[in-house]
Amino acid sequence: MSEILVSENITGDAMTRLRENHDVAFKPDLWHDADRLAKQMQTARAIIVRNQTKVTDELIAAAPNLQIIGRAGAGLDNIDTNAASEAGIVVSYTPSENSISVAELVLSFMLTAVRRIPDAWRDTRSGGWNRMQFVGGELFGKTLGIVGLGRIGRLVAERARAFGMTIIAHDEFIDPASPFVLQLGARLTSLDDLLAQSDFVSVHVPLTPETRGCFSHDAFQKMKSSSWFLNASRGEVVDEAALLLALNDNQIAGAALDVRSQEPPVDTELATLSNVIVTPHIGAFTHEAQERVVAAICSDVATVLAGGAASHAFNFPKPKR
């Protein structure tokens, strides 16, 4: 059994180099199989994952030699970081390496929605030339409500400002008078006000017990019937049954979803609606972002296994092993 376990499909130049210089078990489908994963963890000194491997306290307990968990991405909701810290295991992640790509996807969602690109593309490709059928709207002058003004939310705000949008935001962890909020040209407000005012509501919160399911029937009821709901954060922050109802009842105009409450999704009805744009959690999936992400994680894994300190550490545990 190998010293480094890669349990999801993580590739790139840095991974190739890591595999050339270390004993790496590259098993992109291992995340599916909890028992096989636990067995492989018995000898692993490092594991590299994306968001699908559940690195639970049980899995950590089954890995007596583990020194580092490399998370090739920003969200840590699939890692028990407390259990890792208690066991003296470094959690390394990439909080900003893919932010630009996610922000660009959100901008493309808004443009795709207002210009009705999927419908126009389908119609034109099948021989149509129906210009009057595809009269769209502009982003200019519209209000974008950003829920969560962290790294990605800020990048979305900067880019949306360049389109002439008005930016409002809700973030309980940010002081409304903070200079960066003023610099962004954003106005912080309550969630209720944001939902009521926005033409687009874009979600950029991590998945936590507080955010799980927070976009519920109640939230969709507060949105304008002309507004779009955009989610490139985590699917579990949305009550999908409530979203489906809101769309079917014309409570909101549409939704663009890069993430789902279960991935791959079991409920396929949302994706069949003509006013829903769906993509398979590709926010971070650009060549540029993946090169940065994989380089950072592979470098941290090699460094920690050689006795050095991780540059992208989330925690600073006392080594116990």
In sequence order, the 6+-apart residues with CB closer than 8 A to the CB of 140 are: 163, 164, 165
Q: Return the residues of window 270-299 that contact ligand MLT according to CB under 6 A.
A: 283-284
Site string for ligand MLT, 86-125 (x = CB under 6 A): ------------x---------------------------
**Shortest distance in whole angstroms from residue 64 CB to ligand MLT:** 27
What is the DSSP code string of 121-189? HHHHHTT---GGGG----STT-EEEEE--SHHHHHHHHHHHHTT-EEEEE-TTS-TT-HHHHHHTEEE-
β-strands 24-26, 46-49 pairing: unpaired
Among 17, 62, 43, 22, which Cα is nearest to 291's? 17
The smaller minimum CB distance to ligand MLT, of residues 131 and 287, is found at 287
Instruction: Give yes or no for a contact between 220 and 251, defined as CB atoms under 8 angstroms apart.
Output: yes
Active-site hit among 234, 260, 292, 312: 234
Instruction: Give yes or no for a contact between 153 and 146, defined as CB atoms under 8 angstroms apart.
Output: yes
- Is residue 260 a contact residue for ligand MLT (CB under 6 A)? no
**Closest residue to ligand MLT, Cβ-based?**
73
What is the phi/psi pair of residue 177, to 5°? -90, 5
The smaller minimum CB distance to ligand MLT, of residues 207 and 310, is found at 207
Does 17 participate in catalysis according to the annotation? no
Binding segment (CB under 6 A) for ligand MLT, from list 72-80, 159-167, 260-268, 300-308: 72-80
Does 281 participate in catalysis according to the annotation? yes
Give CA–CA dist 210/105, Å, rounded: 25
**Shortest distance in whole angstroms from residue 81 CB to ligand MLT:** 14
The span from the first CA to the last CA of the chain, in angstroms, equals 19
Helix (H) / strand (E) element for 243: namely helix 240-248
Q: Return the residues of window 11-70 that contact ligand MLT according to CB under 6 A.
A: 50-51
- Cα–Cα distances in angstroms (integers) from residue 164 to residues 12, 132, 161, 167, in the given order: 37, 25, 5, 9
Does 104 participate in catalysis according to the annotation? no
The smaller minimum CB distance to ligand MLT, of residues 70 and 145, is found at 70
Binding residue (CB under 6 A) for ligand MLT from 4, 6, 63, 74: 74
Active-site hit among 116, 204, 281, 312: 281
The smaller minimum CB distance to ligand MLT, of residues 52 and 166, is found at 52
The smaller minimum CB distance to ligand MLT, of residues 73 and 254, is found at 73
Active site residues: 234, 263, 281
Applying CB under 6 A, the residues found at the interface with ligand MLT are: 50-51, 73-75, 98, 283-284
